[in-house]
Amino acid sequence: MDDVMRTVDIAIVEDNKRYLNELALLLSNSPSINIVGCYERGKDAIEEVVKTNPDVILIDIDLPDISGVEVIERVSAHGCPAEFLVLTVYDDDKHLFSALQAGAVGYIVKGSTSLDEIESAIFDVIDGGAPMSRVIAKRVIETFRTKKTPQKTKTKFDELTKRELQILEYISHGYTNRQVAEKLHISYETVRTHLKNIYNKLHVHTLVEAIMLYKNR
């Protein structure tokens, strides 16, 4: 289904009230996005999102009461199916990997990402992707390169087509689904279809897992 034909419920957890209001206002202008809650404190967010069950939660790491990482852990522990997309100023390994280990599926650095890219990242999450700022994606890849896992099999990649390998290569360097579509002169929907085939062939559920296997093949 095309992005314009569906509505995604979004919650935002951000302690900077001005940034929170601006982001909520700009995103609410999209006919495909429905803002179901805005929270400045982590504990308030936990209580409410468990009730509203948004599709995606945009969350900062540094909150006034508890950390965004703890929010992710506690909401997930309640069985809430929401996907977490971190939107923060921190680009260091400590915050990055703490968030990913807690269950975040994407990590975007403020200031280096436009509103259009944030909106695109939201739909990438819905489509099963793992959007990250390019500098963050490179850091994740480098970390996996230094932590080779011998149990990873190489034969799975024999099943991938040349096009599927091209898409993985671009995404492993931080390109979004839409940017890959532009580079390969194919449609966004075609990229999504290829990614679903890649997940099935590699027996993974997320883009992070696919990239891990790809870089350690």
pTM summary value: 0.65
Q: Is the pLDDT of residue 151 over 60?
A: no
Residues 55 and 155 in one domain: no
Strand boundaries in the chain, DSSP class E: 8-13, 33-39, 56-59, 83-88, 106-109
Residues 53 and 107 in one domain: yes
Mean pLDDT for the stretch of residues 86-93: 88
Here the CATH number for the domain that contains residue 181 is 1.10.10.10
Residues 85 and 120 in one domain: yes
pLDDT value at position 3? 42
| Highest mean pLDDT pick, 16-20, 126-130, 135-139, 187-191 | 16-20
Q: What is the DSSP letter of 106?
A: E
* 8 A C-beta contact, residue 47 and residue 4: no
Q: Is the pLDDT of residue 153 over 60?
A: no
* Sign of the four-CA dihedral 10, 15, 19, 22: positive
Mean pLDDT for the stretch of residues 73-101: 88
CA atoms within 13 Å, Cβ hemisphere of 130: 24
Domain enclosing residue 107, as ranges: 3-141
The span from the CA of 50 to the CA of 37, in Å, is 11
Here the CATH number for the domain that contains residue 96 is 3.40.50.2300
| Highest mean pLDDT pick, 6-10, 35-39, 116-120 | 35-39
The span from the CA of 168 to the CA of 163, in Å, is 9
Distances (CA, A) of 85 to 34, 153, 166, 216: 16, 29, 25, 25
Show which of 121, 141, 161 is a domain's final residue. Answer: 141
Domain total in the chain: 2
pLDDT value at position 2? 45
Show which of 119, 141, 163 is a domain's final residue. Answer: 141
